[in-house]
């Protein structure tokens, strides 16, 4: 055989042995004209993905895709009618366990729902809090569920007497493999108290992340196997902080993600906390220069990765309670940022859940207003190991802003100029704590506005609500 042909055959065999990530990066949306969203995603044993979320007008929504993100099936479980599916997990029998809430009865309550399905999304059994507590009129919402080592399930969320009333307690529920109640515990002394995420720990107890109105605003609660408190931890000095996600890490201890408002700057600030197995803080990280426009952020999900690092998703926020763009951040065990990726368009986009995939990449779900059919649409993004999608643009250019600017951002009063606004100029003024202190209204389509003469010195924000988004700018009044 000629040498050149032999070399060609060997080269061909070597190329055939190299894995090719055919589906390393892509994005998909599902939804209609109204608001739809994805809340949780996991990769399935066949290489595809299962997504739990909410479909406007129906309630809880499950979507199964193949590895390229193409739809295999969708279903809306009756046990989540009018509500939402907040969490889904693969179970040992290749089915799924889902929790969320049901709101189709005209009783003024949300009802915590727990559903077990087979691999095709067909319901095997369903439980509502009414079946567990027929003597108790209090409703509730399930936010997180996990299968436990004994084959049962652990859930957390919150109790709420009625839709129009305040959340009361963090709710922790343990069931057997058939969804029958084994025990139910509530935690918290004063309203509101809420559990956003629960995971079984290596000692067969549980770790829960959420928030509380008592000593710790950002709340991490460790319990024993019976759901009784072992310790509580958090960020005591942070005002209005919430933890959305927690995981036990292989080196021992826990990684926690959420947000808070530690400064009077009108922003939500992303926070990631690493704790020991006893709940003592090892380090705390906030976004500082991570995002464009000096934006803050909200951390919705953190996971440890197979390389010993952490992956984090959520959304950037230039102003408290605002949503800007979805972010994906890779951090090392010391809390240092390895890379940051930001995805979004001219409107609101957010990430709620991230997981590592078998090819070393990441799968993210959330919601987008920038892409899709209208309103919020469920968003599913697949990236490679570097957080790149290799197929969709990262942060496409935003639409031009409405022509308005603050001519004098520092002074005893501000001077604002605007133009080309047929409905006139309408905006709200907030102080540094986020309290609305005034409103601006000018009927003309173009003009100049002065403001601030009767207000004290300090940092202020002006927020203009446009048709599809909001724009916020800051200024300083001095004497």
What Å distances lie between residue 338 and 250, 335, 442, 465, CA to CA? 19, 9, 47, 35
Do 348 and 423 have their domain in common? no
User: Is residue 199 within 8 Å of 248, Cβ to Cβ?
Assistant: yes
Do the domain assignments include residue 153? Answer: yes
Do 341 and 415 have their domain in common? no
Do the domain assignments include residue 17? Answer: no
Q: Which positions of the chain have pLDDT values less than 70?
A: 1-24, 134-137, 390-403, 408, 432-434, 465-471, 479
DSSP H or E run through 16: helix 3-17
Do 120 and 87 have their domain in common? yes
Measure the CA–CA gap between 115 and 125, rounded to whole angstroms.
6
User: Is residue 448 within 8 Å of 433, Cβ to Cβ?
Assistant: no
DSSP H or E run through 188: none
DSSP H or E run through 156: strand 153-160
Question: What total number of domains does the chain contain?
Answer: 2
User: Is residue 112 within 8 Å of 99, Cβ to Cβ?
Assistant: yes
Model confidence pLDDT, tens digit, residues 268-326: 999 999 999 999 999 999 887 788 888 999 999 999 999 999 999 999 998 888 999 99
pLDDT for the residue numbered 406: 79
Within a 10 A sphere around the Cβ of 467, how many other Cβ atoms?
6
Do the domain assignments include residue 8? Answer: no
Burial (CB count within 10 angstroms: exposed 0-12, middle 13-18, buried 19+), residue 216: buried
Burial 172-199 (b: 16+ CB within 10 A, else e): bbbbebebeeeebbbbbeebbbbbbbbb
Domain CATH for 216: 2.130.10.10
Measure the CA–CA gap between 224 and 168, rounded to whole angstroms.
22
pLDDT for the residue numbered 372: 82
The structure tokens 């190299």 sit at 18
- Residue 473 is part of which domain span? 404-477
Say if strands 281-286 and 296-304 run parallel, antiparallel, or are unpaired. unpaired
Q: Domain end: 383, 412, 447, which one?
A: 383
End-to-end CA distance of the chain: 91
Do the domain assignments include residue 11? Answer: no
Torsion of CA 64, 376, 367, 388, to 10 degrees: 100
Q: Domain end: 383, 415, 440, which one?
A: 383
The structure tokens 């009784």 sit at 228
Do the domain assignments include residue 120? Answer: yes
Do 214 and 318 have their domain in common? yes
User: Is residue 201 within 8 Å of 176, Cβ to Cβ?
Assistant: no
Do 306 and 411 have their domain in common? no
Q: Is 11 helix (H, G, I), strand (E, B) or coil?
A: helix
Give the bridge partners for 149, in sequence order: none
Do the domain assignments include residue 445? Answer: yes
Pair of tokens at residue 47:
């290489």
User: Is residue 463 within 8 Å of 430, Cβ to Cβ?
Assistant: yes
Do 378 and 432 have their domain in common? no
Do 364 and 460 have their domain in common? no
pLDDT for the residue numbered 389: 81
Measure the CA–CA gap between 423 and 425, rounded to whole angstroms.
7
Q: Domain end: 320, 352, 383, which one?
A: 383
Do 409 and 375 have their domain in common? no
Do 116 and 219 have their domain in common? yes
Within a 10 A sphere around the Cβ of 238, how many other Cβ atoms?
21
Burial (CB count within 10 angstroms: exposed 0-12, middle 13-18, buried 19+), residue 413: middle
Do the domain assignments include residue 19? Answer: no
Q: What is the DSSP letter of 293?
A: G
Do 327 and 415 have their domain in common? no
The structure tokens 């919601």 sit at 367
Burial 454-466 (b: 16+ CB within 10 A, else e): eeeeeebbbbbee
Domain CATH for 461: 2.60.40.1930
Measure the CA–CA gap between 137 and 130, rounded to whole angstroms.
8
Do the domain assignments include residue 31? Answer: yes
pLDDT for the residue numbered 397: 36
User: Is residue 50 within 8 Å of 96, Cβ to Cβ?
Assistant: yes
DSSP H or E run through 129: helix 129-132
Do 350 and 429 have their domain in common? no
Considering the chain, what is the average pLDDT of its residues?
87
Pair of tokens at residue 305:
């990765």
Model confidence pLDDT, tens digit, residues 101-120: 999 998 899 999 999 999 99
Do 124 and 176 have their domain in common? yes
pLDDT for the residue numbered 135: 62
């Amino acid at each position: 055989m000629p040498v050149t042909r032999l070399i060609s055959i060997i080269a061909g065999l070597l190329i055939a042995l190299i894995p090719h990530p055919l589906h390393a990066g892509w994005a998909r949306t599902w939804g209609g004209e109204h608001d739809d969203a994805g809340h949780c995603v996991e990769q399935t044993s066949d290489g595809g993905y299962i997504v739990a979320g909410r479909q406007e007008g129906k309630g809880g929504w499950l979507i199964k895709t193949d590895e390229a993100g193409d739809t295999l099936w969708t279903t809306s479980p009756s046990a989540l009618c009018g509500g939402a599916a907040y969490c889904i997990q693969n179970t040992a029998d290749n089915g799924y366990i889902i929790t969320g809430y049901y709101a189709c009865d005209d009783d003024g309550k949300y009802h915590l729902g727990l559903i077990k399905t087979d691999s095709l999304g067909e319901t095997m059994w369903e439980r509502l809090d009414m079946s567990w507590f027929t003597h108790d009129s209090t409703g509730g919402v399930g936010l997180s569920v996990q299968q436990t080592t004994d084959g049962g399930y652990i859930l957390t969320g919150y109790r709420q007497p009625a839709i129009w009333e305040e959340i009361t307690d963090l709710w922790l529920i343990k069931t057997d493999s058939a969804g029958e109640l084994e025990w139910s515990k509530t935690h918290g002394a004063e309203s509101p108290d809420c559990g956003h995420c629960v995971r079984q720990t290596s000692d067969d107890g549980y770790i829960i992340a959420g928030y509380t109105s008592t000593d710790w605003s950002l709340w991490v609660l460790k319990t024993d196997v019976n759901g009784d408190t072992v310790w509580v931890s958090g960020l005591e000095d942070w005002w209005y902080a919430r933890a959305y996600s927690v995981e036990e890490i292989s080196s021992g201890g826990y990684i926690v993600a959420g947000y808070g408002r530690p400064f009077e700057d009108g922003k939500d600030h992303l926070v990631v906390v690493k704790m020991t197995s006893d709940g003592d803080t090892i380090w705390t990280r906030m976004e500082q220069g991570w995002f464009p426009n000096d934006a803050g952020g909200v951390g919705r999900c953190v996971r440890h990765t197979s390389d010993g690092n952490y992956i984090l998703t959520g959304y950037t926020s230039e102003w408290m309670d605002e949503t800007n763009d979805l972010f994906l951040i890779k951090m090392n065990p010391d809390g240092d940022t390895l890379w940051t990726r930001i995805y979004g368009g001219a409107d609101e986009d957010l990430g709620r859940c991230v997981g590592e995939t078998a090819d070393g990449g990441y799968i993210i779900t959330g919601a987008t207003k920038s892409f899709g059919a209208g309103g919020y649409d469920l968003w599913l993004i697949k990236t490679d190991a570097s957080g790149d999608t290799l197929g969709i643009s990262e942060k496409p250019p935003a639409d031009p802003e409405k022509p308005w600017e603050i001519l004098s951002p520092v002074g005893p009063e501000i001077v604002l100029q605007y133009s080309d606004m047929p409905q006139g100029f309408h905006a709200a003024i907030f102080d540094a704590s986020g309290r609305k202190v005034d409103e601006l209204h000018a009927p003309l389509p173009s003009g100049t506005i002065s403001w601030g003469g009767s207000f004290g010195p300090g940092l202020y924000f002006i927020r203009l609500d446009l048709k599809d988004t909001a724009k916020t700018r800051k200024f300083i009044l001095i004497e």
